[in-house]
Structure 1
Amino acid sequence: MRRHGVATINPVAKVAASLLIALTLALSVDAASALTALALELAVLPFAGLRWGAFWRRTAAVWIAAPLAGITVALYGRASGHVYLDWLFVHVTDGSLRLAAITAVRVLAIALPAVVLFATVDATEFADGLAQLLRLPARFVLGALAALRLVGLMRDDWQALELARRARGVADRGRVRRLPGLAFALFVLSIRRGSALATAMEARGFGGDGPRTWARPSRFGGREVLLILVGAALAATAVVVAVATGQWVFIAS
């Protein structure tokens, strides 16, 4: 499948850009910066290399989590202003409703760029960037990459275990009751596969102390710098608008 747009940019730059936005928005709780950031993000996200169907599938959890977070804040947030509901620990007031709306928008503004950018990240390219560009320990990076590659196999192993038990006639009923047994079998199988993988990697020199060579060089060029600048400009614009409108409230104050 051919990739285009932001999908072809080095994953390290994607992480840096999303962190810039998230850390900046986490410094304040105000409506102006969150709304500004969200509006700008929605304007540039179509260039992230995701089709609309994939975009809605990948971000579905964010669109669900944002209103849920807002509802929680509305019910249990700081009470101020007119009281609409006061029952035990639930206090719905003007202040809690306003804070709930800000929280929902802020969750969207922080999570959407992170999810969209990470949706186009290849694990191997990300590992190459961490080791070659950020100079993280190669053994740690390669070990984490190998573990991540095995996550997908766990689902296949679980299905294979279920089919094997069903073939023996021990999985027709009591699905909940047999979950601990399946989980333990999967745990044992994972340990065996991990031990075999560790031995294979050690035999191929992945645990050596000498300098490593890399089959895929990780490059950081103009497009990566441009993406980080776009993230920084987006975050800075949100702060400037919040300060100009007098709504910037530093979270520590």
Structure 2
Amino acid sequence: MRASVDAAVREQGLTLVVVEHVLGPWIDLVDRLIVLDASGVIVADGPVRETLATRHTELVGMGVWVPGAGAPDPLPVDPALVGAPHLGPAHPRQSSEENTRSAVRPRRMFSSLDCLEATPLTVTRRTATVDGIVTERVAARLEEPLRLAPGELAALVGRSGSGKSTILHALAGFLVPAKGTLRVGDDEDPARLEPVELARRLAWIPQWASSTIVTGRVLDEVLLTSRQLGDDTPGLEDRARGLLETLGLGRLADADPRHLSGGEMRRLAIASAILHGPDIVLADAPPPPATHDQAVIDRAHQVHHLDGQPREAPGPHGRPWLSGRNPLALLAGAALAVPAGVASPGWRASIVLLALQFVLAVAGLTSRRAGLFRPLRALAVRLLPGVLAALSVAWSTWLLGGRSLDLAATGFTRVLLIVLPSAVLLPFIDTDRLGDELAQRLRLPDRFVVAVAAALHRMQSFGDIWTEIARARKVRGIGISWRRTKSVVRHVIALTIGLLVRSLRSAAELAVAMDARGFATAHRRSWLRPVTWRVRDSVVVVASMMPLLLTLLFRR
């Protein structure tokens, strides 16, 4: 990545500004070094190597990662702030003073010697395609057993995509391994622990620190898990404030945690995870144990290397006929179903039209690879919300229309006529190609087009974000009773707000990124690939017009 940046800067005469804590990899690519202190005031500004040489001691003291000076010393943390501490065994490469600072174990004692133990693990993920093909692939492997005693640190290392976060999720009990076993404490599987007991045993710090935010006040966020566990020990709030001060967040104790910067959110997530003194802390990069940070790896008692899993060979050839069709053709086909459904003269005609739509769906969905049953089963799942909507319309029509079954059946079939083509066609739309078509063929504004395409991409990750926020609540001791309506409503509201916050932050970042790429000022843009319209795309539109034409014939 750095080589690509360097090449672009040199070949195109660009100005490069890098914001970075670790300076070493960049000093050959930049000419000038500007250093800010904790309050944002410039304290050093000059040629890179000269500034590093003349201000070496001062910069190291500020915690700047000066090349050749080694990693900054760990921040001293009073163990008394984190539960009731008990020091673990000293690391062979650490002095006793370093061990006192970094190897702290909370107050609970296990009867077994191991705090966390896992045999070699294999974690798989299942994915389903539009035509109903379900595949299962290996997402991550932990090749060696992992056994951690209290006070020890293990690091999971590997390139991006090697499965570090996936293994961490398995250790937390969020994912059940396909092979291997794990336990916390006395032979207990974390996947089977109730939220309160899970929170008592372990803490999880996700990559997106905003996922863990539950309250509207920084101090309450730090205290939340302790309160969920019924901790009423004297001085709890004082310890929370002390931990915030240590992490540089003391002045923000009464602030809304959602308004913090990214770095402040990460530190808040750490404070919220450790105040109650869990036995195990599972931290996704940053910080450790799933990490790329060499300074952390050097301090680890165990280092487990993960290798990315190779992609499985593709299955039997043969894609659905609708795969790869022009997005505008697919949108047009879905839109043409609306007038057909509205204009249908009655339920008998609608059944004929539904039969025609079903035949067209079978022709577009089936393939040698998927056969007939699997695509139709996947279609039935996608149609379920539409069927519920159709039943609702039928019931209200029957209730308000003199309890006429004929009117109810007409309402039911008309709704199905409208939603069936959408359930068939829209899942095949490629959002990148859609953006190309909207900008090049329909001449819509570039900024609008890219924003829409990016939003559609982000929407595809909503399910993962929802799951991550739910996991964060569970591991902080916030349970849900499916038998109590109030509990379910509170849970859904909390997840929705968390999803909204993440979405708004992503939207703000996208807006800045687009402005940085000239979308606010550029009037002409280049596109990666030209748009195309083939005969099969025209066939999609013509086939979608057939129900509408039949509707017009029925009404004559």
Q: TM-score, normalised by structure 1?
A: 0.77
How much is the aligned-residue C-alpha RMSD, in angstroms? 2.6
Q: Within the alignment, does 1:72 sit opposite 2:396 as a pair?
A: yes
Spell out the pairing of 1:177-188 with structure 2 (5 A cutoff): 177=490, 183-188=496-501
Contact 1:66 1:107 in 2 (8 A): yes
Paired residues in the alignment total 226
Distance in 1, matches of 2:525 and 2:429, equals 23
Deviation >6 Å, runs of 4+ = none
**Taking structure 1 as reference, are residues 240 and 140 closer, same or farther at Cα in structure 2, changes over 3 Å only?**
same
**Taking structure 1 as reference, are residues 181 and 53 closer, same or farther at Cα in structure 2, changes over 3 Å only?**
closer
Contact 1:25 1:33 in 2 (8 A): no
Distance in 2, matches of 1:175 and 1:132, equals 46
Structure 1 residues without counterparts, runs of 5 or longer: 80-91, 244-253
**Taking structure 1 as reference, are residues 235 and 178 closer, same or farther at Cα in structure 2, changes over 3 Å only?**
closer
Distance in 2, matches of 1:241 and 1:179, equals 46
More strand by percentage: 2
Distance in 1, matches of 2:334 and 2:493, equals 39
Contact 1:34 1:105 in 2 (8 A): yes
Q: TM-score, normalised by structure 2?
A: 0.37
Q: Within the alignment, does 1:192 sit opposite 2:509 as a pair?
A: no
Aligned to 1:42: 358
More helix by percentage: 1
Distance in 2, matches of 1:183 and 1:58, equals 22
Give 2:400's aligned amino acid.
Y
SS of residue in 2 equivalent to 1:197: helix
Contact 2:340 2:418 in 1 (8 A): no
Spell out the pairing of 1:201-220 with structure 2 (5 A cutoff): 201-220=514-533
**Taking structure 1 as reference, are residues 44 and 190 closer, same or farther at Cα in structure 2, changes over 3 Å only?**
closer
Aligned to 1:249: none
**Taking structure 1 as reference, are residues 64 and 189 closer, same or farther at Cα in structure 2, changes over 3 Å only?**
closer
Bigger Rg, which one? 2
Distance in 1, matches of 2:436 and 2:345, equals 36
Spell out the pairing of 1:1-253 with structure 2 (5 A cutoff): 3-49=319-365, 51-77=375-401, 79=402, 92=403, 96-167=404-475, 169-172=476-479, 176-177=489-490, 183-243=496-556
Deviations for 1:179-236, whole angstroms, at most 9, x for unmatched residues? 6555544444333322222222222233343212211322112212222122223311
Report how far residue 25 of structure 1 moved: 3.2
Contact 2:438 2:444 in 1 (8 A): yes
Contact 2:343 2:551 in 1 (8 A): no
**Taking structure 1 as reference, are residues 28 and 154 closer, same or farther at Cα in structure 2, changes over 3 Å only?**
closer
SS of residue in 2 equivalent to 1:8: coil
Contact 1:58 1:119 in 2 (8 A): no
**Taking structure 1 as reference, are residues 157 and 107 closer, same or farther at Cα in structure 2, changes over 3 Å only?**
closer
**Taking structure 1 as reference, are residues 163 and 241 closer, same or farther at Cα in structure 2, changes over 3 Å only?**
closer
Contact 1:36 1:237 in 2 (8 A): no
Report how far residue 8 of structure 1 moved: 1.9
**Taking structure 1 as reference, are residues 29 and 194 closer, same or farther at Cα in structure 2, changes over 3 Å only?**
same
**Taking structure 1 as reference, are residues 28 and 200 closer, same or farther at Cα in structure 2, changes over 3 Å only?**
same
Report how far residue 27 of structure 1 moved: 3.2
Give 2:325's aligned amino acid.
I
Report how far residue 135 of structure 1 moved: 1.8
Structure 2 residues without counterparts, runs of 5 or longer: 1-128, 130-317, 367-374, 481-486
Contact 1:139 1:206 in 2 (8 A): yes
